[in-house]
Structure formats: structure tokens, C-alpha cells
Amino acid sequence: MKPKLLFLILIQLAALQIKAQTPVKRDTARVIKEVSVTYQADRLTPVTFQNISGKDLKSKSTGQEPSFLLSETPSITVYSDAGSTQGYSYFRMRGIDQTRINISLDGVPLNEPEDQGAYFSNYPDIINSVSRIQIQRGVGTSKNGVASYGGSVQLFSPNLSDSAYTTIGLSYGSFNSHRAFAEFNSGIKNRKAFYVRASQLYSDGYKYNSSNSSQSVFMSGALMYDKATYKLNVLAGHQQNQLAWLGVSQPLIDADRRTNTDSNERDNFTQCLVQLQASWHPSRSSTFQSSVYYTFLRGNYDFNQNSFLGLPGTSELYNYAFQSNLVGMFSNYTYSKNNFNWTTGVHGNTYQRRHIGSVNTAGQLYQNTGYKNELSIFSKVDYTINKLTLFADVQARYASFDYHGDVPFTKMDWYFINPKAGISFQLDNNFVLYYSIGRTGREPTRNDMFGGNDNLLADSLGRPVLSIKAPEYTVDQELGFRHQSGKINLNFNLYYMDFKNEIVLDGKFGPNGLALTNEIERSYRTGAELTLSYKINPHISLINNSSFNYSRIKEQQQTFSPILTPPLIVNQEVTYGTKQFLLGLSARYQDQSFIDFANSSQLNHYII
């Protein structure tokens, strides 16, 4: 999509929303809560999902990366570079990596379009300002941005309808880890509301030379009228890390578990996001929601090739620098009346990212720019007949990638039709049974296509060397039930995901240390997931989040287990709480998993 065309579309959509409104005395808090509900699932939606409330987030948030909180839910594994809860961390859902999980804030994609990864570390302490989270496992409902291939994680901005408050927090922990933050919420005054939070975090890291120093600011403000609400979110973060992402050999780990192969590499990244939302309610049954957003990223990181190759480190370092701009919009219309709900919407964005590679002794080696554009439309409907709810959702999505560098490149285009359908049956007010089936496709990342190279290589005839060009697909089936009563909240589901041309880690690494991928003939992932909470009395609760996974890859007449996909994960927690006090004890068991494609090396099981 051309930037000028996108700009004109944004102006048109904004014009549809801007209408003179006269403030009146009414319950405006209800309007605020409805600003971003388009992509969420509710108890009758036949998809597998889990909500994490703001109360739970506040009770457990210590400035850690969100991945660690997500890992307390079924089928999620997490690891970090530094061995601590700050800095770079990564999670996988059902063994599927983070580049294939849709992550958003109030509907704004947080995944970088080129590599499709989402880097929470660029927005440190973001959970401190998140009002709630919804996790959807499997293809779920249609979302903005990259494909919800393995699932999605939706973050929601501060609830401005809360009562006015001011909070100052200080914390200190292992390895000189500390956090300081302050936040203020004005509450609703004269149809206006404002929130701001600022944080400073630091940790030496568990590994040697793996410190993290980061800062962030989150501001949110709203204007509320009789039929319209306007909300502005501004999120900015800055981080400086000593890097610790290269692998460490087992003998070195045995000698000292805190060994860090990265000796003197550092990074420096700044990222900011601005979003303007508009919600208009022309009638009780109709809602228009529109949003424009802009994301800016700039930073760089070092790479010691000698350390990567297992050779003695030197002062000669490669440096990879990036600068990107992402501009987008989305607009949705929802009609709800009686037992019928229909939502349709459009989303588009344009993205460019400049890459510069250099060596500190030789200077700049290359410069190139990647361009990624996306346009999608979706429509979903659900209709309830007595105790039966029918659900259908279809998305048409277009994505393109272009490249300007020292190798000629022909723009690549991908087209996807992503249908989903399901049914849920409400046995009584507390029990819902559901089944759904959905199909979605996903284009390869830049790293997949370039074979791990930051600068595209050419063959002997000057043609670009591309490793993976074809998209991957999955058909996901979910069967489960939900039960909620006074003391018990139970969710259980079975799933079966059948893949075509799945792009998986093959255990190899590219010239810049990044993990490489390969397409495989056939693969599937299947399993069971359980979430159970039981209130023994008003103060004591038992919480269990467990999952079982059986997944296989079939390649060249052989069968393998996918990398980093443990068969069994159990999270068990017991809490004692009053209004002013919370005490919790949690335990996690994670089964062994393989770390290479041939299934010859593995991570042992563990209990924490």
C-alpha cells in the first residue's frame, strides 16, 4: 500500500468518526470499557482462551518480562538470555515460537512485520500499565497484524474509569535487580481522564556480563461524550543490555553455570508507539471503532563472531543497526441485537526498516532496506438459538515484501483466506461445551527467506539466494468445555493442529548467530490443556495450569519430535489473600525437550 494512499484512507476514516458531541451527564465509564473489544472472545465463543485480570497482574508484577507471567498458563514455555526475568526473554505456545504468535495492544500489532517477533524488552515494565490480558491458543479469532498461527496474546491499556490513585513502587531482588516506578490515574473528571506511569529497571543478570538497564513511560488520556469516546495511548521505552544470547557448551556450564559466551557485546534500543482510538455509538445496537497508530524503532547490537565460533574473543565486533517506521490503521463496525452479533473490519499498515552492518575496525559494510505492507479485511458473526451458539469468522489478508540493497530483488506477494467456524452449547448457566475448526496461513520472515543473512546474498549469476519463499498453513481443531460456579473455575480442551509446509527450527545457525529454519513435509501438534482454580474458603485458593503435548514431524520417511516442545507442563499454586495481603507458593514441572532436529540433544526436565 502506498503511503499517500494509506494517508488518504486514514483521513477518510477519521472524518467518519469526528462528529460534534455535547457532553452530558451519563455513565461514561461503560463507554471506555468498550473501546477495544472487537477481537476478544467471551464465554460462548468456541475458541480456546484464558483471561488474566488486572488484579492478578498487579499482584504478580515485579517488573519482569511478560513472558514469565504468561508461562503460568497452559502450554507456554519461557527462557531468557541473561537467566533473569529482565532483558530479553522468549516464550513458545504449544511449542510454536513467538514469531508465529500474534501480539497486540488495544488492537495495535506489536510484532515487527519483517521478522514477525515482538520484543517486550523494548517496553520494560509494560505489565504495570496493562489492565488485563487475553490469551487465545490455536488460530482463535481474526486479529490485526501477523498471523495468529500458534495463538495470540492481547494486551489492553489502562482502565481510565478506575478511581483516582497515585502509586509509587520500589523493589529489590537477586543479582542487584531493582525497579522504581510511579503512576497516576486522575479518574474521570469533567468527561476527561488521564493516566501516566514511568519506570526505571536494572539488573546485573544471572550470567556474567548480562546486565539490563531500561526505562519506560506509558501515557493514556481520554475524552468521553454522550455517544463517542476518544483515547490516546503513548508508550515509549529505552533499553541497554549486555548481551548473553549465544549458546554455552555443557563443559563450561558444568564448570560455572553463570558462564556467558558473549564477553563484551552490548545493545541499545529505543521504541515508541502512539495510538489514537475513536469509538462511536450511533445507537444501542451499533458501534464504530477506528484507530490510527505509529511505531518507531531505532537501535543496534554487537556480535562477536569469534565467540560464536568458539574461538578466543577479540575486540573486533560486528554491529547491526536498525531503524524502522510502521504506520497503520484499522476500523471496525459491530452490530448487536438480541442474540445476533456481527462485526466487520479492515486493517492496513505500511512498514520500512533500514539495516546497516559494520565492523568497528573496518566501518560500514553494507546498507539495505526492507519494505513490508499488509492489508486485511474480516467479518465474523455469532447467533444464539436457545442454548446453541453458532460462530463463523473469515479473514482475507494480503502481505508483500520488497527489498532495496546491492542485490536485485523482485517484490514478493502472499494472499491468504483464513476461515474459522464453531459451535458452543450452554448446558446450564455454569457449563459451556464448544468445538471449532479454523485454517490460517503465514508468510515466511525475512530471516527465513534470507537464510539467516542480514544482507541478501547472490549466486554466481547475480540472482538473490532465497531459502524459504512459500507460506505455511495450519488447520486447527479445538474441543473443550468451560465450567464456572461459586468455588470452581474449570477450563479443559483438546486440540489437533495439522500443518502444511511448517517452518521449524532445524538446529542450525546462520553466519550472524541467528537460528535457522527449514520447511518440512508434514507435521502435527496435538494435546490437552487444563486450567482449574478452586476456592477452599474466602482466603485460600488452589490454582492449576497444566498441559500435555504430543507432536511429531515427518521428514524423509523419519519421525521426530519438534524442538523445545516438552510433553508435560504442570503449574500448581496455592494462595492466601486478604484485602491488604497476599501470600503465594507456586511450583512448576517441565518435562524434557529436544534442542536439535535429530532429537539427539535435550534439555532435562526440572522442577521449580
Q: Where are the domains of the chain?
A: 3-607
pLDDT > 70 fraction of the chain, expressed in percent and rounded: 94
The alpha carbon of residue 583 and the mean position of all alpha carbons in its chain are separated, in whole angstroms, by: 29
Gap between the Cα atoms of 607 and 490, Å rounded: 24
Gap between the Cα atoms of 568 and 170, Å rounded: 36
Contact criterion met (CB below 8 Å) for 258 and 206: yes
Range of weakest confidence among 151-160, 331-340, 450-459, 551-560 = 551-560
Tell me the pLDDT band of 125, cut-offs 50, 70 and 90.
Answer: very high
- Residue position matching grid coordinates 515482538: 118
pLDDT of residue 36: 53
Residues 309-354 have pLDDT tens digits of 877 777 789 999 999 999 999 999 999 999 999 999 999 999 999 9
How much is the pTM?
0.92
HSE-up of residue 64 (Cα within 13 Å, Cβ side)? 21
Dihedral, CA of residue 183, residue 188, residue 194 and residue 198, to nearest 10: 10
- Here the contacts of 7-16 (C-beta below 8 Å, separation 24 or greater) are 9/329, 9/348, 10/292, 10/329, 13/290, 13/292, 13/329, 13/331, 14/278, 14/290, 14/292, 16/288, 16/290, 16/331
Range of weakest confidence among 4-18, 64-78, 183-197, 396-410 = 4-18
The alpha carbon of residue 585 and the mean position of all alpha carbons in its chain are separated, in whole angstroms, by: 27
pLDDT of residue 408: 94
pLDDT of residue 37: 59
Residues 347-371 have pLDDT tens digits of 999 999 999 999 988 899 999 999 9
Tell me the pLDDT band of 205, cut-offs 50, 70 and 90.
Answer: very high
Sequence letter at residue 348: G
Number of neighbours of residue 128 by Cβ within 10 angstroms: 22
Q: Is residue 421 predicted with pLDDT exceeding 90?
A: yes
Round the average pLDDT of the chain to a whole number and report it.
91
pLDDT of residue 555: 81
pLDDT of residue 309: 81
Beta-sheet pairing, 388-404 with 363-385 = antiparallel
- Residue position matching grid coordinates 554466481: 460
Residues 474-532 have pLDDT tens digits of 999 999 999 998 899 999 999 999 999 999 887 788 888 888 888 988 899 999 999 99
Instruction: Give per-residue burial for 76-91: e unless 16+ CB within 10 Å, then b.
Output: bbbebbbbbbbbbbbb
pLDDT of residue 264: 84
Gap between the Cα atoms of 405 and 371, Å rounded: 11
Nearest to 237 by CA among 152, 299, 185: 299
Tell me the pLDDT band of 249, cut-offs 50, 70 and 90.
Answer: confident
pLDDT of residue 512: 84
Gap between the Cα atoms of 210 and 311, Å rounded: 20
Gap between the Cα atoms of 33 and 182, Å rounded: 24
Q: What average pLDDT does range 439-444 have in this prediction?
A: 97
pLDDT of residue 23: 38
Gap between the Cα atoms of 17 and 206, Å rounded: 50
Gap between the Cα atoms of 203 and 240, Å rounded: 11
Whether domain 3-607 has CATH 3.30.530.20: the reply is no
Contact criterion met (CB below 8 Å) for 573 and 546: no
Name the DSSP letter for residue 36: T
The alpha carbon of residue 574 and the mean position of all alpha carbons in its chain are separated, in whole angstroms, by: 28
Q: What average pLDDT does range 211-222 have in this prediction?
A: 96
